Amino acid sequence: MIFAEFFKSSVLETRLAKSQVMVVYDPERRYREICLEMATDKRSVIDTTDSSITSRAEAIAALGKLGVNDIEQLLVYVPASKPIEDEDKQKDPFALYGACGDVFPNGDGDHYQSLCLKSKPDHATLWVKACG
């Protein structure tokens, strides 16, 4: 399985099925295209890359649609680091969506290298040799 398929199905779709709302923080912009490709009639994907103000309005409108069952899921893509401290979360206009649902990354298993190893477990010895 290629990484993009693994990430989409095993991480994003699985978590969205449980929480309905998810924020993907991605300062390296590795996951942007994968996230954008996930938009459907029942799943809104908000890309905050170009305009924080416009995307805030889009996210609020999408959350309202989720509330009246016009959509089933909301994914917010943020090309910045995930806020860790409470003060940083208060400053992040998209942190509230994570509080409503789920956040990526969320734990050590969400590091890029860990995800790569999970997507291609048969290549683990190659990773160890290359990195060790």
User: Where do the domains of the chain lie?
Assistant: 3-131
Residue with tokens 């734990």: 107
CB 47 within 8 A of CB 77: yes
CA angle 42, 69, 11 (to 5 degrees): 45
CB 24 within 8 A of CB 39: no
Over residues 26-82, the pLDDT tens digits come to: 999 999 999 999 999 999 999 999 988 999 999 999 999 999 999 999 999 999 999
What is the per-residue pLDDT for 118?
A: 81
Over residues 3-30, the pLDDT tens digits come to: 889 899 999 999 999 999 999 999 999 9
Tell me how far apart the alpha carbons of residues 59 and 56 are, in angstroms, rounded to a whole number.
5
The candidate with the shortest Cα–Cα distance to 117, out of 28, 32, 3, 25, is 3
pTM: 0.88
